[in-house]
Amino acid sequence: MAMEGVEKRQEDREFREFEKERLDVSRDYGIRRTAKGDWYRKTLEEWWAKVTREDIATHLIRQGVSSRRAKEEELSAVDLVMDSWMVDYAQEIAGYVAPGQYTIGNKIALVTRGATFLPLAEGTEEDFLDLYLFLKHAFSKPDQLDAFLGWLQQAVRVLRTATPPAWAHGLALLLIGDTGIGKPPSNS
């Protein structure tokens, strides 16, 4: 009977050492947990899907992470990995082309899906004429239209070429004027 206890302790010790060698909590298993307790897992399509805690545990076990807890340990390897990948929040964020983890200010955000852009296509003056006439009548002075088109050109250029969050700053657009002249209504 005493021999069985020695063998069991030896087996547990060997198991713990095997787990320590094999477990790398810094390895990215494609899982994230938000500060609210929501779970996300990276899909084969490279975006992040909201899943349950059980889905995450199953995913980790399939990746070879053990769910077995050693006698003297509080947590299993699955628990340790699950506690290692935290973000402050997860959502789709405008302008981020690629899904993934980003630092925004002093927060860690998980962008769950990247933005999709309409493809750029060569157009003719006729293709642009209706929009141009609308804009020309929306702005009462020619320099207003020039300023708006310059702002629009810069905004599109930055959105398509800059890597977030290194966008050019100062691209705010303020539309000021009397009511009923084509600005979006305010929520009052």
Three-state SS for 144-180 is: HHHHHHHHHHHHHHHHHHCCCCCCCCCCCCCCCCCCC
Domain ranges of the chain: 2-111, 117-188
| Average pLDDT in the chain | 81
Q: What is the pLDDT of residue 59?
A: 92
Structure tokens at 175: 């539309």
The partner residues of 80 in beta bridges, in order of sequence, read none
| Cβ contact 110:57 at 8 Å | no
pTM of the model: 0.62
Q: What is the pLDDT of residue 168?
A: 66
pLDDT tens figures, 48-100: 999 999 999 999 999 888 888 777 778 888 888 888 889 999 999 877 888 99
